[in-house]
Chains A and B, each alone.
Chain A
Amino acid sequence: MNIFGKLSLDAIPHDPVALAGVVFMFSAGIAALVALTYFKLWRWLWEEYLTSLDPKKIGIMYIVVAVLMLVRGMADAGMMRLQQAISVGDSFGYLSPEHFQQVFSAHGTIMIFFVAMPILFGLINLIMPLQIGARDVAFPFLNSVSFWLFAAGAGLINLSLVLGEFSTAGWLAYPPLSELQYSPGVGVDYWIWALQISGIGSLLSGVNFITTIFKMRAPGMTLMRMPIFVWTSLSSMVLVVFAFPILTATLSMLALDRTLGMHFFTTDLGGNVMMYVNLIWAWGHPEVYILVLPAFGIFSEIVPVFSQKRLFGYTSMVFATAGITFFSYLVWAHHFFTMGAGAKVNAFFGIMTMVIAIPTGVKIFNWLFTMFRGRIIFSSPMHWFLGFVVSFTIGGMSGVLLSIPGVDFELHNSLFLVAHFHNMIISGVLFGYFAGITYWFPKIFGFKLNENLGVYAFWCWIVGFFVAFMPLYILGMMGATRRLDHYDASMGWQGLFIVAGVGVCIIGLGVLFQVLQMYVSIRDRKKNIAGADPWNARTLEWSVPSPAPMYNFAHIPHVYGRDPLWARKQGIEHHEPPYTDIRMPKNSPLGLLLGLFGFLFGFGIIWHMYWLVPAAALGAIVCIVVRALDEHTEETISAAVVERIERANPSVTV
């Protein structure tokens, strides 16, 4: 048996465009290593971040990796737009069809799994424990394992750039194209195992956060007093826990088809490709709400603060969230109306899809009524919110249009659909996350982001978004399907494709402003010290110093109602008893090691290096046993240290 399996020197790409990617990745990686060594940052990185079990540190790592992946996903988007703008008639653009297919598969996979999901987990890690008045999550070590499994998945997907190839089968890899017969390379295997490994991390995070919300709330923080962001995080994590196993099972079956020659989704010996489509969307539709619900939660925090008013309709917001959670399991067939089900099935799922739009509408009205007669401060998070309301409503309308099976038969797989879901994901999910990052940045790092540059970035994003995606709605109506790498000049599409390309450039300018915003804000950080409560906010995370100390709360707060910080500022009695010792979990490198073994496990299967698979599994088991035998996982922060930290960074007291 060859110890390298299918791996050989041929695996390094030869095509010049791909080779440029390899060179870029390597130089960026080497530059990072050199910088870390030159500035002697290794020890700091290891102790403060890589081995940390502090959810705030883990949250920062999630968001850093996500932002790096966002850059790669945006580069993919730009490549597609350029190809489609120039590949007309006799011109075939600069990408081979094979490479173009890898680019769009990577774009979708990266943006959903390695950008949106980690920002979501990052924000929940950073903010949720603070909002419920907890010092930590329920299972701090598991949290670190989750992050490192996610990082292992991200590592695999980036490795596919330099070793072998990526899937050409789209972001959901429908069989039979993704079966061995039609995709004999390692691309689909990279896709499967990157998702599988990071998916297990997501599942463990889901369990961790639900348990945290159920069991770790401060005294008096009843369920109906929780901030809406906690509610939406809870709902989103419930969806993770009850939907990701379906993905795990489906990917496993595809992997069994490919590696052990089974016949779940093959075209021969009784396999049924439509079962794959059915199962992947039974996970895929809840996934949409996993991403967007926390964004709704972020807006529900931001709008009251910047309208200086209580949130309108708290109870209806909670029930709308719960309703969306439940109904999101009953709409999955609207992703494949055209697969040939009868009228009864399509009508049922069409109607359920329209029904789920109702609670979403309730939320929109709640936010608008919160603003009504408020003293609105037009900060940059509020800009993101207003941009969201307008464009998300447009996207929602196009979604309700698509929920009519008859219309869907016309628009299925067209660019209209592509425009619709980008409308939901960019202006719903991404704007929400940008708003959240801007809003909570001072709490995480102790200084505010530059407001002007944030507003410029917003305007570039929103204008660029409309210029890039409105043409796609029209192109879809004109019959342009998704994933085209070339079309005939007589179609008359080129003008609109060029406009869409210009839109992406405007978005790119927005990203440039965001990079500049980060640079300027860090440069001027001394001038923008935030203090504990820079926004005059209402919830508990703003009652502690910024940045929050590792133990979050020197004293576990007592909660007497909704908006506890607001109540405290209105003069409800509150006293600070003397400081006491606090027990916190110690750092552990085992999470990182488990992630490494997860990476090797996936790598072994992808390249058929079968000796590596059991070796990695054994390594993982050893890590788990070592952790289970460790009886000293906590350390004590003495009262004196707590007092010193608290005196240096004042928290909000009245």
Chain B
Amino acid sequence: MNRTETEHVRDTSLLGFWLFIMSDCLLFASLFATYAVLGHSYAGGPSASEIFSLPFVLLETLILLTSTLTCGLAVVALYKRNREQILGWLFVTGALGALFLALELHEFVTLIAEGHGFQASAFLSAFFTLVGTHGLHVSIGLLWMLFMMAQVYRTGLTNVTERHLMCLALFWHFLDIVWIFIFSFVYLLPIIV
């Protein structure tokens, strides 16, 4: 394949993946709408301000935000075609993502242990599903990142790995954008209003 053909294939992949992400936005929009509608249906159980801790959520937010920066730095390294830097930044991103996921799981486990599980009320069902769906996406992102690190380590930078890395970065940035809205509308507003 010549240079323009390679670029055409890459742009096509990126556009396709972008459209997939746009459709994912609609998946989250449906869950957000459901949370907005059912967010006050406590059914005698706890309300948002009783079970969420703001500093804890801020910590999660900053960790994910930092991981999106390091993911961007991996892309910068990709353009410089520096394999060691790519692997390094991907590792940092993955580690931060794993930490974020661990915190989220900790929150879930604590809530369930206190009797505020997803079966307790419509509010909690909507909360667990929305945040859990985001967490599921993060987990898929982490698995993908592991796979990509192995790929880059094994074969170096080929057209295929380059293309896949750019899609992965897009995915990771998208997950951070979804989290902004979870931070604002799932945690912040229900706690203070």
Which residues from A are CB-within-8-Å of B118?
A: 256, 260-262
* Minimum Cβ distance to chain B for residue A100 (Å): 32
1-19 of chain B: CB within 8 A of chain A:
8, 11-13, 15-16, 19
Pick the residue among B19, B34, B120, B160 that contacts A264 (CB under 8 A): B34
Tell me whether B78 is interfacial, beta carbon within 8 Å: no
- Assess the A242–B26 pair: CB atoms within 8 A: yes
The bracket for how many chain A residues form the interface is: 35 or more
- Assess the A242–B22 pair: CB atoms within 8 A: yes
* Cα distance, A215 to B120, chains bound together (Å): 49
- Assess the B42–A253 pair: CB atoms within 8 A: no
Which residues from A are CB-within-8-Å of B110?
A: none
Tell me whether B82 is interfacial, beta carbon within 8 Å: no
* Minimum Cβ distance to chain B for residue A481 (Å): 29
* Cα distance, A204 to B120, chains bound together (Å): 35
Which residues from A are CB-within-8-Å of B119?
A: 260-263, 269
Tell me whether A250 is interfacial, beta carbon within 8 Å: yes
Tell me whether B24 is interfacial, beta carbon within 8 Å: yes
How would residues 21 to 38 of chain B score, 1 for a CB under 8 Å from any chain A CB and 0 otherwise?
Answer: 011111101110110011
Known contacts A270-B43, A279-B33, A241 near B122 by CB under 8 Å: no
Which residues from B are CB-within-8-Å of A628?
A: 147, 151, 160, 164
- Assess the B16–A264 pair: CB atoms within 8 A: no
* Minimum Cβ distance to chain B for residue A174 (Å): 16
Stretch among A47-55, A205-213, A559-567 lining the B interface? A205-213
- Assess the A211–B30 pair: CB atoms within 8 A: no
- Assess the A211–B16 pair: CB atoms within 8 A: yes
* Minimum Cβ distance to chain B for residue A211 (Å): 4
Known contacts A269-B43, A625-B147, A253 near B34 by CB under 8 Å: yes
Known contacts A215-B11, A263-B43, A272 near B38 by CB under 8 Å: yes
Pick the residue among B26, B122, B147, B164 that contacts A245 (CB under 8 A): B26
88-133 of chain B: CB within 8 A of chain A:
118-123, 125-126, 128-129
Pick the residue among B25, B29, B121 that contacts A270 (CB under 8 A): B121
How would residues 108 to 121 of chain A score, 1 for a CB under 8 Å from any chain B CB and 0 otherwise?
Answer: 00000000000000
Tell me whether A358 is interfacial, beta carbon within 8 Å: no
Which residues from B are CB-within-8-Å of A275?
A: 34, 37-38
Tell me whether A281 is interfacial, beta carbon within 8 Å: no
Which residues from A are CB-within-8-Å of B20?
A: 204, 207
Known contacts A245-B30, A263-B43, A271 near B122 by CB under 8 Å: yes
Tell me whether B66 is interfacial, beta carbon within 8 Å: no
Tell me whether B61 is interfacial, beta carbon within 8 Å: no
- Assess the B19–A207 pair: CB atoms within 8 A: yes
- Assess the A270–B42 pair: CB atoms within 8 A: yes
Known contacts A214-B15, A271-B41, A246 near B125 by CB under 8 Å: no
- Assess the B23–A207 pair: CB atoms within 8 A: yes
- Assess the A215–B8 pair: CB atoms within 8 A: yes
Pick the residue among A245, A268, A279 that contacts B23 (CB under 8 A): A245
- Assess the A243–B12 pair: CB atoms within 8 A: no
How would residues 174 to 213 of chain A score, 1 for a CB under 8 Å from any chain B CB and 0 otherwise?
Answer: 0000000000000000000000000000011011101100
Which residues from A are CB-within-8-Å of B29?
A: 246
How would residues 231 to 255 of chain A score, 1 for a CB under 8 Å from any chain B CB and 0 otherwise?
Answer: 0000000000111111011101100
Residue of B nearest to A633 (CB): B160
Pick the residue among A138, A204, A269 that contacts B122 (CB under 8 A): A269
Which residues from A are CB-within-8-Å of B34?
A: 249, 253, 264, 275, 279
- Assess the B41–A272 pair: CB atoms within 8 A: yes
* Cα distance, A241 to B26, chains bound together (Å): 9
* Cα distance, A243 to B27, chains bound together (Å): 9
The bracket for how many chain B residues form the interface is: 35 or more
- Assess the A272–B30 pair: CB atoms within 8 A: no
* Minimum Cβ distance to chain A for residue B70 (Å): 23
* Cα distance, A243 to B33, chains bound together (Å): 14
- Assess the A256–B129 pair: CB atoms within 8 A: yes
* Minimum Cβ distance to chain A for residue B16 (Å): 4
Which residues from A are CB-within-8-Å of B16?
A: 138-139, 207-208, 211
- Assess the B27–A248 pair: CB atoms within 8 A: yes
* Cα distance, A605 to B192, chains bound together (Å): 40
Which residues from B are CB-within-8-Å of A242?
A: 22-23, 26
* Cα distance, A138 to B121, chains bound together (Å): 45
Which residues from B are CB-within-8-Å of A625?
A: 147
* Cα distance, A204 to B16, chains bound together (Å): 9
- Assess the B23–A264 pair: CB atoms within 8 A: no
* Minimum Cβ distance to chain A for residue B79 (Å): 22
Tell me whether A98 is interfacial, beta carbon within 8 Å: no
Tell me whether A631 is interfacial, beta carbon within 8 Å: yes
- Assess the B122–A272 pair: CB atoms within 8 A: yes
* Cα distance, A324 to B58, chains bound together (Å): 43
* Minimum Cβ distance to chain B for residue A178 (Å): 16
* Cα distance, A649 to B126, chains bound together (Å): 60
Pick the residue among A245, A260, A269, A272 that contacts B27 (CB under 8 A): A245
* Minimum Cβ distance to chain A for residue B11 (Å): 7
Which residues from B are CB-within-8-Å of A272?
A: 37-38, 41, 122
- Assess the A246–B26 pair: CB atoms within 8 A: yes
A-B contact pairs, 25 of them (CB 8 A): A207-B16, A241-B19, A241-B22, A241-B23, A243-B26, A245-B23, A245-B26, A245-B30, A246-B29, A249-B34, A250-B30, A260-B118, A260-B119, A261-B119, A263-B121, A264-B122, A264-B125, A266-B122, A269-B119, A270-B38, A270-B41, A272-B37, A275-B37, A275-B38, A631-B158
Could you list 14 further interchain pairs (A-B, Cβ under 8 angstroms) beyond the known A207-B20, A271-B125?
A138-B16, A215-B12, A215-B15, A216-B12, A242-B22, A248-B27, A263-B125, A269-B43, A271-B38, A271-B122, A272-B37, A272-B38, A628-B160, A631-B158
Instruction: Give B residues with C-beta under 8 Å from A.
Output: 8, 11-13, 15-16, 19-20, 22-27, 29-31, 33-34, 37-38, 41-43, 118-123, 125-126, 128-129, 143, 147, 151, 158, 160, 164
